Amino acid sequence: MLRVKNLKAGYDGVPVIFDVSFEVREGELVSIVGSNGAGKTTILRAISGLIKPLAGEIEFMGERIDRIPAHEIVERGIAHVPEGRHVFGKMSIRDNLLMGAYTIKSEAEIRKTYEEVCDIFPRLRERESQKAETLSGGEQQMLAIARGLMSRPKILMVDEMSLGLMPILVDKVLDILREIRNRGTTVLLVEQKVQEALEMADRGYVLQTGRIITSGTNKELLESDLVKKAYLGM
């Protein structure tokens, strides 16, 4: 579904990731894990078109998308939930969600999606007229994910959702992501909480200083010496 080949990307011509290749298949939940600064966010920003790759290819549903501007990527079915949530703080929760559905033309479809998304996140419906900035960090993360779902994506990319959340909320968000996957949306998770992200995923990739150093199913990775030593402190 999503295939990244020999991707090199960075900022102002200075590469942050080198020769990254990976693949996400339809219906999977894939995690890319790695420590802070490994280049995880850069990968997602390149996929969603916020930065132009320096080299390599990104293919989605059989189409090259690495030269397409960000606002057209969404229409193709890729939603990117950015690191740090980035909700529109001065706008109501309802308007935040409607912005998520910006590319959808049909009012009826937006309404239907709105109801579906609010079924997953009932808190948001309760507070729909409240400004997003009044929500707690965890609720804002839920809102950011919900907003991503509003575009009815084929794949939902979630960047560092654990950032600034207490562990119990991290587990809750992970459960929700699993549910989203079970409802049929492919999920690409990028995380520095290595253990949680791998336990939840079907497959994973480990990114270190801009390169993928190993990959495999979640079991293989959790049991590999490399991951144990470097990330799980065992």
Partner 1 sequence: MIEQVAVSGLLMGLIYALVAVGLSLTWGVLDIINFAHGEYLMLSMYTAFWLYTLFNMDPYVSLPLAALLIFVIGYLNYKIVIKKVIDAPGLTALLATFGLSLLFRNLAQFFWTPNIRFISNTIVTDKKIELGSVVLGMPQLVAAIGSIIMVFVIYHFITKTKIGKAIQATAQDKSTARLMGINTEKIYALTLAIAGAAAGIAGSFMSTFYPVYPESGMMYGLLGFVIVALGGFGNIMGALYGGIIIGLAEAFGAYFLGTQFKYAVVFLIYLVVIQFKPRGLFGW
Applying CB under 8 A, the residues found at the interface with partner 1 are 48-50, 69-72, 74-75, 79-80, 82, 86, 88-91, 95, 98-100, 102-103, 147, 151
Buried residues in 107-117 as b, exposed as e (16+ CB within 10 A): eeebeebbeeb
Indicate the residue among 6 and 134 with the shorter CB distance to partner 1.
134
Place of tokens 């995690």: 31
Give the integer Cα–Cα distance in Å for 104 and 75: 8
**Which of 80, 181 has the CB closer to partner 1?**
80
* 3-class secondary-structure state, position 146: helix
Decide whether 100 or 138 has the Cβ nearer to partner 1.
Answer: 100
* Beta strands 186-191 and 203-208, pairing class: unpaired
Q: Which of 44, 52, 46, 47 is nearest to 13 (CA)?
A: 52
Residue 42 or 218 with smaller CB distance to partner 1? 42
Q: Which is nearer to partner 1, 28 or 88 (CB)?
A: 88
Q: Any idea how long the chain is?
A: 234
Closest CB 129 distance from partner 1, rounded Å: 13
Q: How far is the CB of 233 from partner 1 (least distance, A)?
A: 34
Using left for φ > 0, alpha for ψ between -120 and 50, and beta otherwise, residue 166 falls in beta
Shortest Å, Cβ 68 to partner 1: 12
Shortest distance, position 191 Cβ to partner 1, whole Å: 19
Nearer to partner 1, 124 or 222 (CB): 124
Distance in Å, CB of 146 to partner 1, minimum: 13
3-state secondary structure of 162: coil
- Residue 148 C-beta: closest distance to partner 1, Å: 8
Closest CB 225 distance from partner 1, rounded Å: 38
Partners of 10 in beta bridges:
15
Q: How many CB atoms lie within 10 A of CB 137?
A: 13
- Residue whose CB is less far from partner 1, 86 or 219: 86
Question: Partners of 2 in the beta sheet?
Answer: 24, 60
Distance between alpha carbon 87 and the CA centroid of its chain, in Å? 15
